[in-house]
Amino acid sequence: MSKYETYLLNRSGLADSHTLDVYRENEGYQALEKVLKGGFTPGQVIQLVKDSGLRGRGGAGFPTGLKWSFMPDPEKDKRSRYLAVNADESEPGTCKDRVLMDEDPHGLIEGILIACYAMRVGAAYIYVRGEYRHSYDRVAAAIDEARRAGLVGKDILGSGFDCEIWMHKGAGAYICGEETGLMESLEGKRGHPRPKPPFPAGFGLWGQPTTVNNVETLQNVPYVILRGADWFKSMGTEKSPGNILVGISGHVVRPGVYELPLGLSAKEILDDFAGGIWKGRQLKAWIPGGSSTGFLPASMIGVAMDHDSLKEAGSMLGTAAMMMLDETACTVRSMEVISRFYEHESCGQCSQCREGTEWLHQIFRRLEHGQGRLEDVELLSSLASGMAPGKTICALADAAAIPTHAIVKHFRDEMEAHVTHKGCPLRGGDDSTSARKQVEVNA
Amino acid sequence: MNDTNDASLFSDDAEPDVAVSPEAPAPVLPEALVREFEELATHYPERRAALIPALHRCQEELGGWLTPDMLEACAELFGLEPVEVFGVASFYPMFHLRPVGRHVVGVCHNIACDLRGAEDILARACSVTGCEPGGTSADQRFTVVRLECQGACTAAPMMDVDGIYHENLSEEDVERILGGMA
């Protein structure tokens, strides 16, 4: 049991937690009722979310209430308005929204309804990554259940508020988790991110005002409404209040998704929740918030897991998807895998990203497999600097560049050892003649 | 916006079409799917938005991969050029544009799975099924592909078999799961 107060995962694990009955027995739809029947104006809901300090849980950490306030005044702008729910969870290491959708789908629906009321939106689309078939079915069934109970559709709870929620299935492209790529994909096109500005609040889905919110962000909203901004701010840090779902994977004893207040040290999460590094080994390197946030050395495991502390440490909280590498793991091999991913997922619009991600992958691969050169370290830095920041339409190039800079900064020795050793020193330089010779000698 | 002219070609009240003639080939998209797609299209202000969900359904219902005929039929249904539909289908890794085996096995090879033995899982999946990575077995039973991150990182390593996740895998699990499949 956690010694910290939890709320996001409190229903998860209850029998039939995904059903309307169990949801209602456990505070479900009380926040919606409070908003619709308690005389809250949309503006008051936005103000309450602003006051809570809730920041987006999709990776960028943007203040949620502020984002909602960017939607144009419906009196002056009569266009249709949309909410797009980003359930295209695909940053490597991240699997928290899946837990929420599987275990607590009504929590998402309630969050969506309150968000739509606040922004005076009449239709929401939940863009679920295509592979999450089980999550899709769970949320779709919950929407049907809510619709039959008068919670989705026309005149919700007799309040006169109308809101439709539609499910939408993606088809396996990471770039559709980028908000403008998501909107293009939802319109039935290739997921090519759009240049910004214009921003989604002015020109979103079908050119109409749109807000894109992450699943976990929206699941926080009913609690903020029900328990208030002060309660929310009593958890976490001053600038990053509330709890966050931390996924911890890799070489740990108990990998899993844990609900924790923002601002705990990464060491506490690793030791007390994940049970430490597996097999009695030592920590070598770790990633704080998904593969795009890059490797940090074991010496930095004391850093606090919140937006500002990690920024000061030269990294990012991202999606709080921590990954741990033990002493037998190779950071170069891991970057070969990570750069392969970004090459695969680049949409191809921008040359810096399309070519850059491929070159990064080629260079990491040749380092790992014994064909690297000492100047490759500088070449990787220079390539990454040419790709980001701010040189491309979206941040995918940054997502490949940031971990490249991080490995050069923190694990340069290991990179150079791959050159001098003609291959991976941890795997005996498997492609090198010296390794083969060694095998022959040992035989 | 909804193109009612195109829609009427496929709706129930259209003129009797060639399907009643015994010599005519069966339509590429069965009537039930067309009806389903027409309903899907009502969820959006523009018909085209239903394209990707519709391509998923074609792949699920009509043999596991998207044939050129299906892409053309979807183009006609959604008022698009075939090349636009091909452009969309080829962008998304979940769509197969070539024939696949009866079972599609995907093994995640991204970082969280790699750290916990994904390459061994992949090798075992290939040896059990007789596939090369990315290939189909000679008996057409299996296709094995490498996958990027599937969001199963805290239950790594994983594989997806016909859309179902299998997590926390050992090589023996792979053998057991795939060995018994017809």
Tell me the average pLDDT of chain A.
Answer: 95
Cβ neighbours of residue A418 closer than 8 Å, sequence gap 6 or more = A332, A367, A368, A370, A372, A424, A425
Say how many residues make up chain B: 182
DSSP secondary structure code for residue A73 in this structure: P
Cβ neighbours of residue B135 closer than 8 Å, sequence gap 6 or more = B143, B144
- Would the pLDDT of A116 be above 60? yes
What is the spatial distance between Cα A234 and Cα B106, in angstroms, rounded to a whole number? 44
**What was the pLDDT predicted at B2?**
40
Give the mean model confidence (pLDDT) for residues B79-94: 98
Q: Identify from A147, A284, A337, A365 which residue to disrupt to test chain B contact, counting B C-beta atoms within 10 A and taking the largest count.
A: A337
Provide the 3-class DSSP secondary structure of residue A126. Answer: strand
Task: For chain B, positions 17-46, list CB contacts with chain A under 8 A.
Answer: 43-46
How far away is chain B from the Cα of A332, in angstroms, using its nearest Cα? 12
End-to-end Cα, chain B, rounded Å: 45
pLDDT in tens, A8-21: 999 998 999 999 99
Using an 8 Å CB-CB cutoff, list chain A residues near B111.
92-93, 250, 287, 291, 323, 334, 337-338, 341
Q: Does B138 touch chain A (CB under 8 A)?
A: no
**What was the pLDDT predicted at B21?**
57
Q: Which amino acid is at A265?
A: S
> Confidence class of residue B24 from pLDDT cuts 50, 70 and 90?
confident
pLDDT in tens, A345-388: 999 999 999 999 999 999 999 999 999 999 999 999 999 999 99
Of B85, B87, B10, B97, give the one whose Cα is nearest residue B59. B97
Of A396, A217, A167, A196, give the one whose Cα is nearest residue A319. A217
Give whole-number Cα distances, A352 to A145, A355, B59, in Å.
47, 6, 34
**What was the pLDDT predicted at A428?**
64
Q: Where are the alpha helices (DSSP H) in A228-326?
A: 229-233, 266-268, 307-312
End-to-end Cα, chain A, rounded Å: 52
Give the mean model confidence (pLDDT) for residues B42-54: 98
Nearest to B49 among A132, A188, A248 (CB): A188
What is the spatial distance between Cα A89 and Cα A424, in angstroms, rounded to a whole number? 32
How far away is chain B from the Cα of A95, in angstroms, using its nearest Cα? 5
Counting other chains too, the contacts that B122-128 makes at CB distance below 8 Å and 24 or more residues apart are B122/B146, B124/B171, B124/B174, B124/B175, B125/B159, B125/B174, B125/B178, B128/B174, B128/B175, B128/B178, B128/B179
DSSP secondary structure code for residue A16 in this structure: T
Give the mean model confidence (pLDDT) for residues A407-430: 90
Structure tokens at B57: 């359904």
What is the spatial distance between Cα A139 and Cα A247, in angstroms, rounded to a whole number? 21
Q: Report yes or no: B112 and A338 within 8 Å, Cβ to Cβ.
A: no
Q: Identify from B42, B71, B147, B153 which residue to disrupt to test chain A contact, counting A C-beta atoms within 10 A and taking the largest count.
A: B153
Nearest to B154 among A131, A174, A256 (CB): A256
Which residue of B lies nearest to A257 if distances are taken between CA atoms?
B154
Concatenating the DSSP letter of every residue in A328-345 gives T--HHHHHHHHHHHHHHH
Question: In 10 A of CB A38, how many CB atoms?
Answer: 10
Across the interface, do A188 and B92 touch by the CB < 8 Å criterion? no
ipTM confidence = 0.94
A133-148 vs A96-103: helix axis angle to the nearest 10?
Answer: 40
> Confidence class of residue A245 from pLDDT cuts 50, 70 and 90?
very high
> Confidence class of residue B22 from pLDDT cuts 50, 70 and 90?
low
Whether omega before A425 lies within 30 degrees of 0, making that bond cis, reads: no
- Would the pLDDT of B85 be above 90? yes
pLDDT in tens, B57-78: 999 999 999 999 999 999 999 9
What is the spatial distance between Cα A245 and Cα A259, in angstroms, rounded to a whole number? 5
> Confidence class of residue A438 from pLDDT cuts 50, 70 and 90?
very low
Which residue of B lies nearest to A341 if distances are taken between CA atoms?
B148
**What was the pLDDT predicted at A277?**
98
What is the spatial distance between Cα A230 and Cα A319, in angstroms, rounded to a whole number? 24
Q: Identify from B149, B162, B164 which residue to disrupt to test chain A contact, counting A C-beta atoms within 10 A and taking the largest count.
A: B149
What is the spatial distance between Cα A377 and Cα A373, in angstroms, rounded to a whole number? 8
pLDDT in tens, A185-206: 999 999 999 999 999 999 999 9
Of A273, A251, A253, A270, give the one whose Cα is nearest residue A334. A251
DSSP secondary structure code for residue A218 in this structure: H
How far away is chain A from the Cα of B19, in angstroms, using its nearest Cα? 29
> Confidence class of residue B182 from pLDDT cuts 50, 70 and 90?
confident
Across the interface, do B154 and A95 touch by the CB < 8 Å criterion? yes
Q: Does B149 touch chain A (CB under 8 A)?
A: yes
What is the spatial distance between Cα A333 and Cα A301, in angstroms, rounded to a whole number? 21
Which residue of B lies nearest to A95 if distances are taken between CA atoms?
B151
> Confidence class of residue A137 from pLDDT cuts 50, 70 and 90?
very high
**What was the pLDDT predicted at B180?**
87
Structure tokens at A400: 């490949």
> Confidence class of residue B6 from pLDDT cuts 50, 70 and 90?
very low
How far away is chain B from the Cα of A18, in angstroms, using its nearest Cα? 19
**What was the pLDDT predicted at A431?**
44
Q: Which amino acid is at A160?
A: G
pLDDT in tens, B110-165: 999 999 999 999 999 999 999 999 999 999 999 999 999 999 999 999 999 999 99
Question: In 10 A of CB B14, how many CB atoms?
Answer: 10
How far away is chain A from the Cα of B112, in angstroms, using its nearest Cα? 5
Structure tokens at A107: 């929590």
How far away is chain B from the Cα of A374, in angstroms, using its nearest Cα? 25
pLDDT in tens, A265-290: 999 999 999 999 999 999 999 999 99
Q: b or e along A387-413 (b: 16 or more beta carbons within 10 Å of the residue's beta carbon)? A: bbeebbbbbbbbbbbbbbbbbbebbee
Nearest to B46 among A89, A173, A206 (CB): A206
Across the interface, do A187 and B48 touch by the CB < 8 Å criterion? yes
What is the spatial distance between Cα A95 and Cα A256, in angstroms, rounded to a whole number? 9
Q: Does B162 touch chain A (CB under 8 A)?
A: no
Cβ neighbours of residue B118 closer than 8 Å, sequence gap 6 or more = B107, B108, B109, B110, B156, B157
What is the spatial distance between Cα A356 and Cα A336, in angstroms, rounded to a whole number? 14
Across the interface, do B111 and A337 touch by the CB < 8 Å criterion? yes
Beta strands in A192-255 (DSSP E): 210-214, 243-250
Give the mean model confidence (pLDDT) for residues A36-52: 97
Q: Report yes or no: A186 and A127 within 8 Å, Cβ to Cβ.
A: yes
Across the interface, do A171 and B55 touch by the CB < 8 Å criterion? yes
What is the spatial distance between Cα B167 and Cα B143, in angstroms, rounded to a whole number? 19
Question: In 10 A of CB A197, how many CB atoms?
Answer: 8
